[in-house]
């Protein structure tokens, strides 16, 4: 029987075929995926039912069951998402820079695929297709570890992806799953030096820390989001209320939801009650510092840990600060460098915030929920990088590429 | 006494000041460096004499002594190199991409410094200045570990760098050395998660492998160069002779020197003797396969290991192949993905070689010695990345940057 390493090696072997595939061929593979998904809905749903039954037997939470569940409508939505990527520009071959040297050597820096991408993620079958579609379009082979809880569903989906590649005349080994090897499959990916060019863990903080600590292959750190909104002295009341509410309540479980509100002390009287009322009406628990508690009686006391907590839920930490400097210092101390937003009418403060906050995405007068590959026009995302190396923020097609230098000469030698 | 971690923490603390420094301020620091180097030549040379004396006592090789040695002329050359970086464009703040979303959010992706760069390198004091100058110009703090063998020299140079920063009004903590902690300093750098944004090992294969294996912080792999030249059937004789000779002989100890020549079987009679004669005349030992030995009697037999060997010396492996496909397959198997060059008059083969060779730099009719930050117009280089993540090929100012997304809104919330 094939081992996890065998499967990673198969993907590596197919990487150059996919790297050389034309945009037309890759788009044809994507069209096949979009067509095969609804065509095989019955088979996919049957496999999904097995995973769901196992989940129930293993006391899987309702919310995890919901993420795992596929029905015809959801399968069609995944197919539609795949179809959208066909219309996006293929980054491979793009010229990034170029120059002619004094000795007449012609240099061109062009985009090329990374090679083999490894992704370790939670049991969400839609992510299997999202990631594979982005990888294929950017010319990369991909090794997937999508969680044992989705093993049966992913098995059917990966077979579908391989069939879609084969129908497009591309080596179908380019998509592999190591789900059947459980945790060992993930460990093998972390050690696959020379086979996997980048490993992207996507999921809870525990998984990400484990991969960062243990992997021998290059890793991109994603996702952790202790996200801040600073309501400045001059903030418009309606924007402060609506942005804070949207950033917390619209989907509290995700990484770009806000976790801490900082409020300028001169805005407390004018803005704080309306902002917190609107949150509390939606069932949000306010964890406030003393000044917040003094001004909003429903607040529970914040503790030292509150400021570093990613609630993923209808909870928010609130702190009154004396000025922008204190807000910036608080963010520098507690932010996970994902996304922060300032609500202000003061252009100097807006520019200082944009310049000085060291996060993947820094906003003025907008909801933090916009840090998202789909919203940014990338079609989908492989994850949101919170590190600075290689990619920062939502990772779409371009973030799955490397470059190489092409040098065209006419006999030049170095003096 | 300060520990290595204390020093790394100091660099981290100064990173945001350097990130916010204006181009004028950073250029002023560089001008100060160029001025202080000759002004302090006596002090630098005295410290260097101590290192050299220790080196002799420890049986340091002549070639390592030469790399370590500083005199007035060399110090002036280092100062001149620093001055050149003043004239290069500052990448910080450059807009990489930007768009306006359907909801009128304005997105701008701008270049920002990486933060804190760690570099572990061999005992070459000129590298201390080269790297610090690139780091400062790109707005990055830097932690240096330049080898115990250069400890006294580097101590004086790092003090000079700190003085140059202070004179320019920049927090001088932004440049640190951990040389005094020996190997422990390097180990501390590898573990400095959250403090060092990228660690670049520069030196022998052993050092690089150790860092790749042990580091918990993001690493960029550099340098290993099993570099190939393929002499195609149609190669011009004069170019084949001069390029192969230049690539091997001009400076055999460096990573972009050629290690293996592949020759098309139909070019053997016409080209091989002249190419190998010219190499042999310069004292190069030819390690040939059977076909090479049959056609060049001075060749010694190549072994299986020859093809994977980076000689760093006047030795070259030579193999006759039956066509471009065999050359590409050999390169795919043995290349360290640094640089490869084809000598050909056939445009289809040239394009296939450029497309299909998966290396940082791929050349047509040019010497592999050109893969170099200085030659590429980058002023200098921190290293030559042989990995695909973040940077590939010579790393100059731009390769020391990350990006962040700036989002300007007017109250937008997500639907």
Q: Mind listing the pLDDT tens digit for each residue in A102-156?
A: 999 999 999 999 999 999 998 789 999 999 999 999 999 999 999 889 999 999 9
Burial of A303 (0-12, 13-18, 19+ CB in 10 A): exposed
Average pLDDT over residues A31-41: 98
Answer whether residue B153 shows pLDDT above 80. yes
| Out of A250, A392, A410, closest to residue B402 by CB | A392
B:106-135 residues touching chain A, CB 8 A cutoff: 107, 109, 112, 114-115
| Out of A216, A360, A414, closest to residue B370 by CB | A414
The minimum CA-CA distance between B168 and chain A, rounded to whole Å, is 20
Output the average pLDDT for chain A. 95
Contacts of B358 in chain A (CB under 8 A): 16, 19, 112, 115, 404
C-beta separation of B367 from A414 below 8 A: yes
Q: Which residues are paired to B111 by β-bridges? A: B403
d(CA B395, CA B387): 12
Distances (CA, A) of B267 to B240, B273, B301, B366: 11, 10, 20, 18
User: A405 vs B387: CB contact, 8 Å cut-off?
Assistant: no
C-beta separation of A6 from A137 below 8 A: no
| Out of A239, A350, A411, closest to residue B365 by CB | A411
Q: Which of A296-305, B95-104, B119-128, B172-181 has the lowest mean pLDDT?
A: B119-128
- Substitution target from B407, B408, B412, B415 for chain A, most A beta carbons within 10 A: B407
Output the average pLDDT for chain B. 95
Name the DSSP letter for residue B202: E
Strands B116-121 and B141-145, by their bridges, are parallel
Interchain CB contact of A412 with B (< 8 Å): yes
Phi/psi region, residue A343 (left: phi>0; alpha: psi -120 to 50; beta: rest), is: beta
User: B402 vs A409: CB contact, 8 Å cut-off?
Assistant: no
Interchain CB contact of A404 with B (< 8 Å): yes
Contacts of A1 (CB under 8 A, 6+ apart): none
Kindly compute the dihedral angle of the four CA atoms of residues A212, A214, A217, A220, in this order, to the nearest 10 degrees.
-10
In degrees and rounded to multiples of 5, residue A226 shows phi and psi of -90, 90
User: A366 vs B216: CB contact, 8 Å cut-off?
Assistant: no
Q: Which domains does chain A have, with CATH numbers?
A: 4-223+390-408 (3.40.605.10), 227-370 (3.40.309.10)
B:310-369 residues touching chain A, CB 8 A cutoff: 332, 341, 350, 354-356, 358-367, 369
d(CA A314, CA A254): 11
pLDDT on residue B205: 79
pLDDT on residue A161: 98
Contacts of B369 in chain A (CB under 8 A): 413-414
Answer whether residue A207 shows pLDDT above 90. no
User: B250 vs A16: CB contact, 8 Å cut-off?
Assistant: no
pTM of the model: 0.93
Answer whether residue B272 shows pLDDT above 90. yes
User: B193 vs A212: CB contact, 8 Å cut-off?
Assistant: yes
Interchain CB contact of A295 with B (< 8 Å): no
Average pLDDT over residues A19-24: 96
| Out of A236, A393, A408, closest to residue B405 by CB | A393
Structure tokens given for B207:
């050092």
Name the DSSP letter for residue B302: P
C-beta separation of B262 from B321 below 8 A: yes
What percentage of residues in chain B have a pLDDT greater than 70? 100
User: B407 vs A363: CB contact, 8 Å cut-off?
Assistant: yes
d(CA B234, CA B243): 15
- Complex ipTM: 0.94
Average pLDDT over residues B261-281: 97
Contacts of B334 in chain A (CB under 8 A): none
Q: Coil, strand or helix: which one is B337?
A: coil
Interchain CB contact of B295 with A (< 8 Å): no
User: B413 vs A360: CB contact, 8 Å cut-off?
Assistant: no
User: Of the candidates B366, B354, B375, B344, which has an alpha carbon nearest to the alpha carbon of residue B242?
Assistant: B366
Contacts of B393 in chain A (CB under 8 A): 403-405
The minimum CA-CA distance between B99 and chain A, rounded to whole Å, is 9
Average pLDDT over residues A266-289: 97
Chain A, chain B: beta-carbon pairs less than 8 Å apart: 208
Contacts of B197 in chain A (CB under 8 A): 387-389
Interchain CB contact of B278 with A (< 8 Å): no
User: A392 vs B370: CB contact, 8 Å cut-off?
Assistant: no
* pLDDT band, very low/low/confident/very high, at B334 (cuts 50, 70, 90): very high
User: A197 vs B412: CB contact, 8 Å cut-off?
Assistant: no
User: B16 vs A197: CB contact, 8 Å cut-off?
Assistant: no
C-beta separation of A15 from A117 below 8 A: no
Q: Which residues are paired to B361 by β-bridges? A: A405, B339
pLDDT on residue A212: 84
């Amino acid at each position: 029987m094939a081992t996890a390493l065998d499967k990673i090696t198969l993907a590596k072997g197919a990487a150059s075929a996919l790297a050389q595939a034309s945009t037309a061929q890759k788009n044809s593979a994507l069209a096949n995926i979009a067509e095969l998904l609804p065509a095989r809905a019955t088979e996919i749903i049957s496999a999904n039912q097995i995973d769901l039954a196992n989940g129930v037997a293993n006391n899987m939470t309702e919310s995890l069951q919901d993420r795992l569940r596929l029905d015809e409508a959801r399968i069609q939505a995944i197919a539609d998402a795949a179809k959208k990527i066909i219309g996006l520009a293929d980054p491979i071959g793009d010229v990034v820079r170029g120059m002619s040297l004094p000795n007449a050597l012609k240099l061109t820096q062009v985009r090329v695929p990374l090679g083999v991408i490894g992704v370790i993620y939670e049991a969400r079958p839609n992510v299997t297709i999202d990631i594979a579609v982005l990888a294929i379009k950017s010319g990369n082979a991909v090794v997937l570890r999508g969680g044992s809880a989705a093993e049966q569903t992913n098995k059917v989906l990966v077979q579908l992806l391989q069939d879609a590649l084969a129908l497009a005349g591309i080596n179908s080994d380019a998509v592999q799953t190591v789900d059947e090897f459980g945790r060992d499959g993930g460990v093998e990916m972390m050690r696959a030096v020379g086979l996997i060019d980048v490993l992207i863990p996507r999921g809870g903080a525990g998984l990400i820390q484990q991969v960062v600590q243990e992997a021998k292959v290059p890793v991109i750190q994603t996702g952790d989001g202790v996200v801040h909104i600073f309501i400045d002295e001059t903030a418009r009341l309606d924007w402060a209320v609506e942005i804070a509410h949207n950033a917390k309540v619209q989907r509290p479980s995700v990484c770009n939801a806000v976790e801490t509100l900082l409020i300028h002390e001169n805005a407390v009287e004018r803005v704080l009650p309306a902002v917190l009322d609107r949150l509390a009406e939606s069932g949000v628990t306010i964890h406030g510092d003393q000044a917040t508690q003094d001004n909003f009686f429903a607040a529970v006391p914040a503790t030292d840990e509150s400021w570093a907590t990613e609630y993923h839920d209808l909870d928010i930490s609130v702190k009154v600060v004396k000025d922008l400097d204190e807000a910036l210092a608080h963010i520098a101390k507690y932010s996970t460098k994902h996304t922060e937003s300032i609500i202000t009418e003061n252009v100097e403060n807006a520019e200082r915030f944009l310049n000085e906050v060291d996060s993947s995405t820094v906003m003025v007068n907008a909801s933090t929920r916009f840090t998202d590959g789909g919203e940014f026009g990338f079609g989908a995302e492989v994850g949101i990088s919170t590190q600075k190396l290689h990619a920062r923020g939502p990772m779409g097609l371009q973030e799955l590429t490397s470059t190489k230098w092409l040098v065209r000469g006419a006999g030049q030698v170095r003096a």
